[in-house]
Amino acid sequence: MLVDARPEWPHLGIAVEHGAPPLTPEVLTADHAEIILKTGGRLFIDRRDEVARYAVPRHLSDDELVHPFLAPAAAVMAHWLGRPSFHAGAFVADGGAWAVAGDREAGKSSTVAWLAGQGHPIVTDDILVTEGGAAYAGPRSVDLRGDTADRLGIGSELGVVGTRERWRVALPQLGAATLPLRGWIFLEWTSEPQLRRLSPSECLTRLISHIGMRRSTADPAALLELAMLPAWDFGRRRDWALMDETGERLLSLASS
């Protein structure tokens, strides 16, 4: 489920222990992080020792560790390395990555899964890490809710992973671990189809709202550079019968 790592990439060891860690506030310093997991338990990351230690109430499979439990560790490491990260998916169009973001229940994963089902390469489903105008590939899967998997006719049932039942769509490997980031598409539900080009200041506001980790701050210059990329508000009706039409509109936008 992971992309091939380059030898020069930073290392991060993963350890898991079972138990109830103390209920202390979250911490983020220059070399240490303690993150409260939404699924219960805590994540401790030591930058000097290059280890992420999960203290959780139950056993975790390797697949669970890679997705979704690896996401907060990736966000912390990205923060330390000066790489802005966002709660966003991304797909490949026009030789680069187009990010897809939205508020909770905006249909991000269902859109990414539809693209995958149509044979379009997916960069990431959950956390998008960027660096110098490039986007890093995430784990090779998209996780869906049961009704979405049923509607799209894809995905394998995993049972309860994290805080909910999941159906997993396996993704093929990408040809490259990083791709140039081409732009941003912010999803929302609207009564009628809408498409509006965002100004850099509007895009910046949205990027800040989708920062990948609580308590982190991104380099303002890096955020401004990302906000200068083409960005769109993409409104569509909440109707499964229009999924194909909506997906084709999105692809056309990214390829224009």
User: Can you give the pTM of this predicted structure?
Assistant: 0.92
Mean pLDDT of 221-238: 95
3-state secondary structure (DSSP) of residue 248: helix
Sort strands 96-102 and 178-189 into parallel, antiparallel or unpaired.
parallel
CB atoms within 10 A of CB 218: 21
- Closest to 113 in 3D by CA, of 93, 142, 136, 88: 142
| Domains of the chain: residue spans and CATH | 13-82 (no CATH), 86-255 (3.40.50)
b/e code 141-160 from CB counts within 10 Å (16+ = b): bbbbbeebbeebebbeebee
State pLDDT tens for residues 66-108.
Answer: 888 999 999 999 999 999 999 999 999 989 999 999 988 888 9
State pLDDT tens for residues 172-205.
Answer: 999 889 999 999 999 999 999 999 999 999 999 9
State pLDDT tens for residues 128-145.
Answer: 999 999 999 999 999 998
* pLDDT (0 to 100) of residue 32: 96
